[in-house]
Amino acid sequence: MAKFILAEKKEMTQKFTEDGTVIPVTKVVAGPCVVTQVKTDKKDGYTAVQIGFGSKRNLNKPISGHLKNLGNFRFLKEFRIADPEVKKLTLGDKITAKIFQAGDLVKVTGTSKGRGFQGVVKRHGFHGSPATHGHKDQLRHSGSIGAGGVQHVFKGMRMGGRMGGGQVTVTNLEIVEVDPEKNEIFIRGAVPGPISNLLLISGTGDLILEVEEKKSETDGEKTEEKEVKAEIKNEVAQEATDKNTK
């Protein structure tokens, strides 16, 4: 079974092994995430689960109606899962950082930093033209972009353009440490995107869910009876004290 969670990227730091080796890690705050929708093959044509993460002050009416008082989530993301795994999920189940352990290999997906419009030297690593021997104002130019016989530029030619700001996935990243109390996961190396970037972390293993215990109606009735009895006892004790004072 696949396990997954949404996380927010924090700063990079260091961890030390027992022999003193320094490990560069990225700290992420993972979850808690709440199951907001379960999609089945019969109803939706495929099996998947949608989870919510983060907080948002105001929601529009379609989103608030979709969430059904599960929470004001800033992010809603969907993960494809197998049909037997869908039957184990229900609305309101929570996914926390406890599903991961040190040593797990995960896949991290995020949005890379946007660099704006860049030239070929920065975008593709071109070395540029020579600075002397008749070359004027051409140090960072791209040079020739095609042959003269075809009379057009071939598709896929490396040229200047928008750099960054796209989805990037890094695989086989090792989890060095997990702090379940603070929902923090320390991943070896760097992960895509700037600080506060949304990350999708997935791996292989069991998806541990935290199900909130719902109080039954009988439990509520018992508590109400106890409260009524306590009030009656207090009234009787108050009457007895009033008689004694008189």
Distance CA 61, CA 67 (A): 10
Planar angle of CA 9, 73, 47, nearest 5 degrees: 90
What's the mean per-residue pLDDT of the chain? 86
Helices (H), the chain: 41-44, 61-67, 83-86, 120-124, 217-245
pLDDT computed for residue 159 by the predictor: 94
> Which residues on neighbouring strands pair with residue 51, listed in sequence order?
35, 77
Distance CA 82, CA 76 (A): 20
pLDDT computed for residue 215 by the predictor: 42
Using alpha carbons, select from 194, 196, 191, 185 the residue that is nearest to residue 115: 194
Per-residue pLDDT tens over the stretch 70-120: 889 999 999 988 888 888 888 888 999 999 999 999 999 999 999 999 999
pLDDT for 67 beyond 70: yes
pLDDT for 244 beyond 70: no
Which range (34-43, 162-171, 194-203, 208-217) has the least confidence? 208-217
And the tokens for 132? 């002397």
Distance CA 95, CA 81 (A): 15
pLDDT for 216 beyond 50: no
As a whole number, mean pLDDT of residues 53-57 equals 89
Instruction: For residue 169, give every residue at least 6 positions away whose Cβ sits within 8 Å of its Cβ, in sequence order, or none.
Output: 107, 108, 109, 192
pLDDT for 204 beyond 80: yes
Number of residues in the chain: 246
pLDDT computed for residue 214 by the predictor: 47
pLDDT for 174 beyond 60: yes
pLDDT for 48 beyond 50: yes
Which comes out higher in pLDDT, residue 158 or 69? 158
